[in-house]
Structure 1
């Protein structure tokens, strides 16, 4: 079976992890700090805070942005559930903005229309989570403009987008988002096994993120409510979490980061080959908006007109042929948990139409040209 995604771990990665295992620091040590600095420098961000996974990063980003009970978060229905669940962890409400029919990202035009209606109703969001689906940013310039006009915070869920660029800048630079969250899950662009990172340019936000990821504890005497009792002393200044990344994970992530450009180049090469090889099939292929350079975490196609009724049959026939296709994503608002909150079929028609047509094809750096041609040939036979 050719999987839809797979990590690439080499001897240098293994050596980096072994070096930490033989060191004095398995967690909360110097390798973690080096990984944070390396990601911040790569993305031209002021601060990077490593966490145990990107879901934890989204949770902490929401808390740092001030989201809480009575507040509202908007995001895309075409994402993994974490993009919405982070609001619920904070006690906030969730709503969605339908997707662009070409990029399959949150539609900035639909966002503008919804904001105008929400202002009239006095129900504006406090946070918008803009998901960089498949590795391509949303129209972040327009979203940032709307944020200034309507007064909400922008969190870019860039779990798919390490190494991507928007308007000539690295995703994560903070030009268009208050906070950016990356994922280092094994199928992502680089991996730390499990792990995530939150980037921002505001030192106050960064300090809050660091406090929250480690139980809300400080050892800084200047932030304590009374003089220190001694060298052992710490205070819990707010309710935090144990969302730390260990140095073992950081060592793998830091080593993988050295090959980020190679990973991106191969993903882009394979995506360009898919565009050529699939061009004559009855499919809607992914598109890139002007000024955006995708990291190509996913390569998704949509079945063309008249093929929607065969969606499941095409998917299962490809699996039977040894092609490990997947589907990203089931619209979040159609999950049972969100249906119980009042969402229903028909609420976000473009995301629902996308779901009835989409198939994620295998895409990862070790996918060979021959394997890719096998994927295309199998898809051609199934569609015929």
Structure 2
């Protein structure tokens, strides 16, 4: 069937200018903080790193926080700290960005994909349980869209086997699970500070943890495996300049420029989350009477930080495909997106032997979802434009 063209409806697009699905919010205070660092003695590995780490750990209620150049580096470090090695298995979800699985491959381990809950789109604890083997050395649940995964069940499953849980909370800074802050629940938790996330450092990420042994391993891993701590030297010091490389680490350090920006951004985090929640609520209320779509569902006890707003299409009620709806919304200048292509569908993973059909629910959901714009720099008018465009397009394609 030839794709329908909304042009036949007549009139102009809903918006004159393009609205992206996500965008950073930078103000004069953020700029001032970065400029101060530019004029200081340190551009990298200076005092701003510690200040930023301390502020994050205080916010989420964790004992330790280690900053990295990006969230992917942080996940790599967390897997290494957890002891993941060659031929080990790491269970994660396919409904995520590729980094959640790639971090295992970096250590010559293999990702194992568990299917998702059809309501929340988070990884299913039952599916995790079915995937555990003697080779399982870590579980990486993802707090998809900002809603925490089912941690009572996941942590119970992991604890029974002595398996570390590395929480990928790239979407979930500021979220809460049954009264507890995300960042203090799991053995290690990763937050990302990419520009579309809740706060940004440009690129950047952190791992929070309550375990000192993980903290020390993370610190070494991000800095070439080197230490200047004389108390842990393996050989006799040559003098005050002495340091040792004790393991193979990486240059995964965050800069003071990034940390200063992040520190300033954290001052606005609660405001940013409040706006996201407000706009998400506007979407949900507006689409309750649209029978052709399914709005996000939150589990009892989960307080989402709303990184993404996912609309699921009831394609059986529509004459157009997901692609046609997507392209029609773009023509209305609404910057929709899709999160995510199942990880093992990518050519690289296909070359490793992964095949379609591993996680039927994740694949079904992927075929039907669209991500709507949601970010704190939006206005109410922007949100209303998105609602108007979605209703216009859905109405056009309704059978």
* Same-fold call, TM cutoff 0.5: yes
Q: Would the aligned equivalents of 1:132 and 1:158 in 2 still touch at CA under 8 Å?
A: yes
Residue 100 of structure 1 is matched in structure 2 by: 117
Cα pair distance change 1:17/1:26, threshold 3 Å: same
Counterpart-to-counterpart distance in 2, 1:7 and 1:113:
39
Q: Would the aligned equivalents of 1:221 and 1:227 in 2 still touch at CA under 8 Å?
A: no
Q: Would the aligned equivalents of 2:337 and 2:371 in 1 still touch at CA under 8 Å?
A: yes
Task: Tell me the CA shift for residue 148 of structure 1.
Answer: 1.3
Name the TM-score, length of structure 1 as normaliser.
0.96
Q: Would the aligned equivalents of 1:31 and 1:250 in 2 still touch at CA under 8 Å?
A: yes
Which secondary structure state, in structure 2, belongs to the residue aligned with residue 172 of structure 1? coil
Partner residue of 1:152 out of 146, 160, 163: 163
Q: After TM superposition, list the pairs within 5 Å mapping 1:173-184 onto structure 2.
A: 173=184, 175=185, 177-184=186-193
Which secondary structure state, in structure 2, belongs to the residue aligned with residue 324 of structure 1? coil
Counterpart-to-counterpart distance in 2, 1:55 and 1:134:
17
Residue 287 of structure 1 is matched in structure 2 by: 297
Unaligned runs of 5+ in 2: 1-17
Partner residue of 2:208 out of 199, 203, 206: 199
Residue 391 of structure 2 is matched in structure 1 by: 380
Partner residue of 1:126 out of 113, 122, 137: 137
Cα deviation code 1:210-237 (max 9, x no counterpart):
0010000111112112221111111101
- Say whether 1:256 aligns with 2:273: no
Counterpart-to-counterpart distance in 2, 1:152 and 1:300:
31
Between 34-43 and 274-283, the greater mean CA deviation after superposition? 274-283
Counterpart-to-counterpart distance in 2, 1:28 and 1:124:
37
Counterpart-to-counterpart distance in 2, 1:296 and 1:230:
52
Which 4+ residue blocks in structure 1 deviate beyond 6 angstroms?
Answer: none
Counterpart-to-counterpart distance in 1, 2:393 and 2:276:
25
Task: Tell me the CA shift for residue 124 of structure 1.
Answer: 4.5
Counterpart-to-counterpart distance in 2, 1:198 and 1:345:
32
Residue 244 of structure 1 is matched in structure 2 by: 253
Task: Tell me the CA shift for residue 114 of structure 1.
Answer: 3.3
What is the root-mean-square deviation of aligned Cα atoms in Å?
Answer: 1.1
Counterpart-to-counterpart distance in 1, 2:218 and 2:224:
11
Task: Tell me the CA shift for residue 112 of structure 1.
Answer: 2.5
Which secondary structure state, in structure 1, belongs to the residue aligned with residue 165 of structure 2? strand
Task: Tell me the CA shift for residue 242 of structure 1.
Answer: 0.2
Task: Tell me the CA shift for residue 154 of structure 1.
Answer: 0.4
Which secondary structure state, in structure 1, belongs to the residue aligned with residue 136 of structure 2? coil
Q: After TM superposition, list the pairs within 5 Å mapping 1:131-146 onto structure 2.
A: 131-146=142-157
Counterpart-to-counterpart distance in 1, 2:313 and 2:53:
41
Unaligned runs of 5+ in 1: none
Q: Would the aligned equivalents of 2:309 and 2:371 in 1 still touch at CA under 8 Å?
A: yes
Q: After TM superposition, list the pairs within 5 Å mapping 1:19-58 onto structure 2.
A: 19-58=36-75
Q: After TM superposition, list the pairs within 5 Å mapping 1:307-346 onto structure 2.
A: 307=318, 310-346=321-357
Task: Tell me the CA shift for residue 308 of structure 1.
Answer: 8.7
